[in-house]
Structure 1
């Protein structure tokens, strides 16, 4: 059965896009080569990353959404959006393997006049170089002449209810003006505002700037957190006062580390088309260095607090609260909780956890005990560490029950806990 849209990649980017498309009345299929998410969605179950609820999935299915592993379905659509993951590899380059696989699956079935869009995080030049080459070689068609090709950075903030596809402006950069307009016509059905970039490279660099802006500013407040602790200054009060300035300041807050799918990108480490030899973004590299140090800083604070209360990290019972990377969300992508748990275990601590969104948690392929009763577990633990402030946590009550509480999010009332 033909459809208007194929969303390729049913993860944290693809599923919300498919949800918005179905809600807008667009006949949509969701393609993924991995049968596991397809089977879960077809059964109406919540995806592992928590990007949608079970009721969201059921509404999509009743609205005509069809998840599939059959690539032949890709040859029957007017628009195809690639939302495959591009994680940061060990060499700090974006891994385009999944994008390449999606492109090959689409290219073999690409029809003339189809609009192909890439939403996966990608460095400048990826759409014109990497993706275009695969599509043209695999289909025999020419981008910009036989089919439309454009890039649009994913901008959704998982779990944020105030900003969705409708009220978040969509940036689009097409290979040609006609490509841009074709993409704008599609996205115009989903969003109130379409912003046209000069081309795909500009649109890809929008994602680069937005992601690096976040990481650099988080690194700044993380450094301020360490400094303020050493000076005996309440950073959280400093931020509260600073954000009253109506211009020239945007509040960011420190934490135990930076998680999520938006990895910092330095063009010096991007694939071939985006390399800038001799011109690294030094601030981005430094920000990454600072942010990756935060889990170790949390461990230092844990050991110091235990020591100040006559206890050793070895043999200490440590309860970790909130192991997801984001508040009120099930996604654990790059959450600092895993590294913190590993470091605590290396020190000889006994680690348990509590998270309302994570029923099972494994570290080093071993199950971590989950606390059923939050207050009881906090009372028994030598140290309780708040890593993610889920709104279900009563921090005032928790501070009373916990023997020792370290709040890495500054969410507890002033004086109720030791704050980062």
Structure 2
């Protein structure tokens, strides 16, 4: 079985099935396509599949031409027909793993996927979970469901592995193919098979001893970031009281060639990983009678940042004899990070609602998100449209709140035309000195 899989991989004849064609699955599909493999995309969103098959990308930093080239080459097909899972030699699962309203892991997408493909699993297949989750998911959830649905035996009839996605949207230095890939499987044969597949398209594959280790790797990476971001967010609040610019402190500290790694503060945490992943470990740790006090404290600090920012907006407006109530406020940036059209878990949504709850008349501007799509926790904002950028109207706003520092925004122009600017990203660091008197850092 292993030899047959290796042979098909070596000849680039192995059909790679990718379940979930979003921010993780689509770049992965492009990488395998570039590596010469045929790709079968499986997604429940029929509209997305139709767009892809017509050469359209829904992710702004992935050009339409790249999708069209993949489709026109005849080695890519996207469908919602999960019965076709039996055709694939490898199935890579890239579905969301959010938190529920109780801040507990929501693995419903993983479960639904396992039950959808389970009846069609065949002997010799490799199933890889890429979605971020707690240690034990691959064995305790995915493998069990696949065995129940297929009637086959894992590690005997088919193989299961875990390989955490490490996507960083819009990162110009690293792509899917150049970011080292961690892989873990329960048996040496499974590890050999999953490594052989990824080694054909990824620059470096890092093998670990089990799926649990691989699952813990991804959580550790993002917990590291969450904790350090919480640290600099807390330092920002402390240093602000002392009249010290935290960004200047961090930049100077970063000149030390050892023992320091720069992290930068912001208005809160956003994205599909950092605000969510730590709570997967927190939840799992309770099973072992453990409490993740350090992680939970970091989460509390980061979660409180939007309130801190709103308070800073209030203070800034008070300084010019105004209040949030009745003021016109331009919120710059709805995306959770710069240069992307991804607004999952974005703190900007919370900022918008909090400012409006205090009577502010809030308009947002984001060149990457012209309309706010439906979200689970901010349903009232669905359909809100971005400000049609007009330099002549910038001065009509009582305050501008910078939440996302997109490179395409003309910061000099905003500084010139704006009455009052609250900057949570240090986006105004290069504006002329004479304009800085109207800028408040938050």
What TM-score results when the alignment is normalised by the length of structure 2?
A: 0.91
Between the aligned partners of 1:318 and 1:213, the Cα distance in structure 2 is 34
Q: Which runs of 5+ in 1 are unaligned?
A: none
CA displacement, residues 155-197 of structure 1 (integer Å, 9 cap, x when unaligned): 1101112111222110000110110110001100111111111
Q: Secondary structure at the match of 1:327?
A: coil
- What corresponds to 1:121 in structure 2? 132
How far, CA to CA, are the matches of 1:366 and 1:106 in structure 2? 33
C-alpha distance in structure 1 between counterparts of 2:383 and 2:140, whole Å:
43
Q: Deviation at 1:376?
A: 2.8
Q: Give the corresponding residue for 2:346.
A: 335
SS of residue paired to 2:124: coil
Question: 1:300 offset after TM fit, Å?
Answer: 0.3
For residue 397 of structure 1, report the CA deviation from its aligned partner: 2.4
Give the match's secondary structure for 1:358.
coil
CA RMSD of aligned residues (A): 1.7
Counterpart of 1:412?
428
Distance 1:279 1:383 in 2: 46
Task: Give, in whole Å, the separation in 1 of the partners of 2:440 and 2:70.
Answer: 45
Q: Deviations over 1:315-343 (max 9, x none)?
A: 10000111101210001101111110001
1:395 corresponding residue in structure 2: 411
**1:340-355 to 2 correspondence within 5 Å?**
340-355=351-366
> What SS does the corresponding residue of 1:155 show, helix, strand or coil?
coil
| Residue 54 (str. 1) matches residue 64 (str. 2) | yes
Report the counterpart of residue 253 of structure 2 in structure 1: 242
Q: Distance in 2 between matches of 1:188 and 1:212?
A: 27
Secondary structure of the corresponding residue to residue 368 of structure 2: coil
Residue 370 (1) aligns with residue 386 (2): yes
Q: What's 1:17 paired with?
A: 28
- Answer whether contact 1:410 1:419 (CA < 8 A) is retained: yes
SS in 2 for 1:384: strand
Report deviation, 1:79. 0.5
Q: Counterpart in 1 of 2:40?
A: 29
Q: CA deviation at 1:366?
A: 5.2
Tell me if structure 1 keeps the 8 A contact 2:372–2:381. no
CA distance in 1, matches of 2:97, 2:85: 21
Separation in structure 2 between the aligned mates of residue 366 and residue 277 of structure 1, nearest angstrom: 40
C-alpha displacement at 1:35, in angstroms? 1.7
Matched residue of 2:331: which SS? strand
Q: Does structure 1 residue 289 correspond to structure 2 residue 300?
A: yes
> Is residue 270 from structure 1 mapped to residue 286 from structure 2 by the alignment?
no
Structure 1 stretches (4+) deviating beyond 6 angstroms? none
Gaps of 5+ in 2: 1-12
TM-score by length of 1: 0.95
Aligned length, in residue pairs = 416
The alignment partner of 1:11 has SS state of coil
Q: How does 1:12-411 map to 2 (within 5 A)?
A: 12-47=23-58, 50=60, 52-63=62-73, 64-262=75-273, 263-266=276-279, 269-270=282-283, 275-361=286-372, 364-365=380-381, 367-411=383-427
CA 401–253 in structure 1, closer or farther in 2 if over 3 Å, else same = same
The separation in 1 between residues aligned to 2:112 and 2:61, in whole angstroms, is 23
Residue 418 of structure 1, CA deviation: 1.6
Do the aligned partners of residues 80 and 292 (structure 1) sit closer, same or farther apart at CA in structure 2, a change above 3 Å counting? same
* Cα-to-partner distance string for 1:214-253 (whole Å, 9 max, x where unaligned): 1001100100111111110011110110001111111000
Give yes or no for contact 2:415–2:421 (8 Å, CA) kept in 1. Answer: yes
